[in-house]
């Protein structure tokens, strides 16, 4: 099997979750992953493909999924069998802070001479604390780490040796020359021989988001090269519910106070002064190629309306021009207008909208950072979407936001029921409410100034968050307490509103009577287990694993219909399987798994540089 220069590892939330029972509760009910958070960030794929275009061979391994799918999977033995020039570990979302460092310790124990590199938004916030760990050699900061990572890998391969003599000799982004020293690599944090932390400035923060590729054929090529399907699976249910994602931008123009991706947080911690948008024509190509290989829906993340009306029209009309047939959902940060819905209806076969309103109370929403629209405006927009032919409208609310009381959360659940009544119980509206758990995002406005926003923090440092993750239940794991909603009350109202919304969905017909009954039973049992834990000080002997998924709602509610046996997708996958196997056979696995569609786009945009190497 070919050796990789860099192996990117995705950790579980808690490393020893297989032998440490915990009541994680509803923390992952509204996302694709389990409470182990085995879904790895898109950045792993963009880093891998970008580096491969520079001649650096990269392999991605989802250690969290491998541990979750096989109780006998031996992590140290797996790491021992690998011999790259460097290991990369993501700490993008803070709930991975325990598993990420434990995985780094295993890498360093098995291979003391191989550097370990961290990256991601949470890594950026805690870069100095991470660099002080003796199992971590480098931290790459910021939201765009592809080019700094290329420079670091080029430096490591040339100073330490590697599998590919050509590694790092060129870059698709026309980057600076290969660094002469670590001091020349932007965004890099490390320690010197004395143990002092040295943090280079975040000087690489591109104004656009065009350099990386989001071509899912890259992932397939990598699977074929390393004969490793399981290590590349994005999350537990993906093989039965394959889905793809498009990413509009890096950065945000909004300032939600608890969000680690707010405008202020990007500026303060990640070195981003303005939103970096992906070219709309490149977005169109991303989605067109996603539907070529992935039979499931495509989710477009980060509101494209932030880029303005010209971008919006170019993007939506472009999707119509290439004939996108997949179900496509759009994450939006404000209610769309009738004109946008008309544009979508004219160009798309199957489209949906997703909006997170957080609360039905406009005053609370304004305090949260969403005062740029009212619930009345959102209600009107929902009606317009359904009238225009939207396949569904996903509406999300959250408990634990600033100033919110238990009564307010209950009123939100009752508002959901009333909204269904006013929309004639249209089942295309899918409304949910869940707690802000397990963490208030480090680096967010509220985390950096908790008292102003009505919070008391239970953890400040990375080490304190790691300790919290070892607590026995989600109530004890949370890193914050609202001054207007105590932790005990948050837990109780979470289960109470879960029951209320479950009954609403049963009435509307979103759930069958059997599903509603099963959800009702899980909620009541989970609440009983939490109460017994508080009373007795330990988890009941009964298995709590069944209470950790689909607690307050059935996770399958998030899924759209998928036809796994799409002939065109099967044919495209079969073709790439044959072609890549032949390439690997005759090259010994040394052909980079790069994105041809992205290279084509670059040649079209910059024809004068098509021969640059």
The residues, any chain, with a CB within 8 Å of residue 582's CB and separated by 6 or more, are none
What percent of the chain has a predicted confidence (pLDDT) above 70?
A: 94
Q: Same domain, yes or no, for 297 and 384?
A: yes
Q: Is the pLDDT of residue 509 over 50?
A: yes
The pLDDT, as a whole number, for residue 554 is 83
The pLDDT, as a whole number, for residue 111 is 98
Q: Is the pLDDT of residue 171 over 60?
A: no
Q: Is the pLDDT of residue 262 over 80?
A: yes
The residue among 402 and 607 whose pLDDT is bigger is: 402
Is residue 597, in this structure, part of any structural domain at all? yes
CA–CA distances in Å: residue 115 to residues 19, 85, 92, 151: 29, 7, 19, 14
Q: Same domain, yes or no, for 198 and 277?
A: no
The pLDDT, as a whole number, for residue 55 is 92
Is residue 1, in this structure, part of any structural domain at all? no
Q: Same domain, yes or no, for 144 and 258?
A: no
Report the CATH number that the domain containing residue 510 is assigned in CATH: 3.80.30.20
How is residue 148 written in tokens? 């700094």
The pLDDT, as a whole number, for residue 264 is 98
Give per-residue pLDDT as tens, 327-346: 999 999 999 999 999 999 99
- What band does 541 get if pLDDT is binned at 50, 70 and 90? low
Is residue 228, in this structure, part of any structural domain at all? no
Q: Is the pLDDT of residue 429 over 80?
A: yes
The pLDDT, as a whole number, for residue 582 is 75
Q: Same domain, yes or no, for 344 and 464?
A: yes
Number of domains in the chain: 2
The pLDDT, as a whole number, for residue 175 is 44
Question: In the chain, how long is the greatest CA-to-CA distance?
Answer: 72
Q: Same domain, yes or no, for 163 and 287?
A: no
- What band does 161 get if pLDDT is binned at 50, 70 and 90? low
The pLDDT, as a whole number, for residue 177 is 61
Q: Is the pLDDT of residue 348 over 70?
A: yes
Q: Is the pLDDT of residue 609 over 50?
A: no
The pLDDT, as a whole number, for residue 261 is 97
Task: Average the pLDDT over 181-194 and give the result.
Answer: 96
* C-alpha span between 60 and 54 (Å, rounded): 17
Q: Same domain, yes or no, for 186 and 329?
A: no
* C-alpha span between 27 and 357 (Å, rounded): 18
Q: Where are the beta strands (DSSP E) in 391-457?
A: 392-399, 429-435, 455-457
Read off φ and ψ for residue 159, nearest 5 degrees: -100, -25
Task: Average the pLDDT over 587-593 and give the result.
Answer: 74
Q: Same domain, yes or no, for 344 and 214?
A: no
Q: Same domain, yes or no, for 297 and 162?
A: no
The SS3 of residue 424 is coil
The residue among 220 and 147 whose pLDDT is bigger is: 147
Task: Average the pLDDT over 22-26 and give the result.
Answer: 89
Q: Is the pLDDT of residue 176 over 60?
A: no
- What band does 589 get if pLDDT is binned at 50, 70 and 90? confident
Q: Same domain, yes or no, for 59 and 177?
A: yes
The pLDDT, as a whole number, for residue 168 is 41
Is residue 232, in this structure, part of any structural domain at all? no
CA nearest 255: which of 40, 412, 482, 453? 453
The residue among 455 and 564 whose pLDDT is bigger is: 455
- What band does 524 get if pLDDT is binned at 50, 70 and 90? very high
Q: Is the pLDDT of residue 565 over 70?
A: no
Q: Same domain, yes or no, for 389 and 530?
A: yes
Q: Is the pLDDT of residue 608 over 60?
A: no
Range(s) of the domain holding residue 20: 6-218+568-609
Full-model pTM: 0.93
Exposure string over 364-391, b if 16+ CB within 10 A, otherwise e: bbebbbbeebebeebbebbbbbbebebb
Angle at 182 between CA 115 and CA 156, to 5 degrees: 40
Is residue 227, in this structure, part of any structural domain at all? no
Is residue 288, in this structure, part of any structural domain at all? yes
Is residue 127, in this structure, part of any structural domain at all? yes
- What band does 227 get if pLDDT is binned at 50, 70 and 90? confident
The pLDDT, as a whole number, for residue 13 is 97
CA–CA distances in Å: residue 80 to residues 83, 84, 86, 327: 8, 11, 13, 42
Is residue 257, in this structure, part of any structural domain at all? yes
Q: Same domain, yes or no, for 579 and 456?
A: no
Choosing from 558, 578, 597, the residue where a domain stops is: 558
Give per-residue pLDDT as tens, 106-126: 999 999 999 999 999 999 999
The pLDDT, as a whole number, for residue 539 is 76
Q: Same domain, yes or no, for 405 and 501?
A: yes
Q: Is the pLDDT of residue 165 over 70?
A: no
């Amino acid at each position: 099997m070919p050796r990789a220069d860099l192996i990117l590892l995705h950790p579980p939330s808690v490393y020893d979750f297989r032998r440490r029972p915990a009541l994680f509760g509803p923390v992952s009910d509204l996302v694709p992953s389990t409470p182990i958070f085995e879904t790895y960030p898109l950045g792993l794929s963009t880093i891998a493909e970008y580096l491969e275009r520079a001649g650096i061979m990269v392999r991605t391994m989802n250690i969290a999924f491998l541990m979750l799918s096989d109780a006998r999977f031996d992590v140290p033995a797996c790491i021992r069998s690998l011999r790259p020039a460097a290991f990369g570990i993501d700490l993008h979302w803070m709930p991975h802070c325990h598993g990420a460092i434990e995985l780094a310790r295993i890498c360093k124990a098995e291979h003391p001479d191989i550097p370990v590199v961290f990256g991601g938004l949470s890594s950026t916030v805690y870069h100095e604390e991470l660099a002080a760990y003796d199992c971590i050699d480098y931290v790459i900061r910021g939201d765009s780490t592809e080019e700094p990572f290329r420079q670091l890998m080029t430096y490591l391969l040339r100073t330490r040796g590697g599998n590919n003599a050509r590694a790092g000799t060129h870059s698709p982004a026309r980057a600076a020359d290969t660094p002469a020293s670590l001091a020349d690599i932007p965004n890099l944090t490390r320690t010197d021989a004395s143990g002092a932390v040295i943090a280079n400035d975040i000087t690489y923060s591109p104004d656009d988001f065009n350099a990386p590729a989001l071509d899912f054929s890259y992932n397939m090529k990598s699977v074929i090269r390393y004969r490793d399907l399981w290590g590349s699976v994005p999350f537990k249910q993906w093989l039965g519910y394959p889905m793809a994602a498009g990413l509009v931008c890096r950065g945000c123009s909004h300032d939600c106070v608890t969000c680690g991706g707010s405008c202020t947080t990007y500026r303060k911690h990640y070195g981003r002064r303005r939103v970096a948008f992906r070219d709309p024509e490149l977005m169109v190509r991303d989605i067109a190629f996603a539907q070529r290989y992935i039979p499931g829906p495509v989710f477009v993340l980060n509101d494209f309306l932030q880029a303005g009306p010209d971008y919006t029209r170019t993007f939506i009309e472009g999707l119509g021009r290439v004939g996108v047939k997949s179900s496509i959902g759009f994450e939006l940060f404000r209610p769309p207008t009738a004109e946008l819905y008309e544009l979508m209806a004219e160009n798309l076969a199957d489209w949906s909208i997703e909006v997170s309103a957080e609360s039905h109370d406009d005053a609370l929403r304004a305090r949260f950072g969403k005062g740029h629209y009212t619930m009345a405006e959102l209600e009107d927009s929902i009606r317009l979407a359904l009238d225009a032919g939207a396949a569904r409208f996903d509406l999300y609310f959250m408990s634990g936001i600033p100033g919110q009381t238990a009564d307010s959360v209950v009123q939100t659940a009752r508002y959901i029921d009333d909204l269904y009544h006013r929309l004639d119980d249209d089942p295309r509206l899918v409304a949910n409410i869940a707690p802000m758990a397990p963490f208030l995002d480090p680096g967010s406005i509220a985390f950096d100034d908790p008292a102003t926003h009505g919070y008391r923090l239970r953890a400040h440092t990375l080490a304190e968050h790691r300790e919290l993750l070892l607590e026995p239940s989600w109530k004890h794991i949370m890193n914050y307490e609202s001054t207007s909603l105590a932790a005990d009350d948050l837990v109780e109202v979470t289960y109470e509103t879960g029951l209320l919304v479950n009954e609403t969905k049963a009435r509307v017909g979103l759930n069958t009577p059997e599903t509603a009954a099963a959800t009702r039973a899980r909620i009541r049992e989970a609440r009983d287990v939490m109460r017994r834990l508080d009373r007795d000080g330990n988890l009941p002997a009964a298995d709590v694993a069944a209470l950790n998924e689909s607690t307050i709602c059935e996770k399958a509610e998030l899924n759209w219909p998928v036809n796994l046996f799409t002939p065109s997708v099967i044919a495209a996958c079969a073709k790439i399987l044959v072609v890549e196997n032949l390439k690997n056979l005759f090259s010994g696995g040394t052909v980079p798994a790069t994105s041809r569609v992205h290279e084509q786009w670059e040649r079209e945009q910059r024809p004068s540089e098509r021969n640059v190497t």
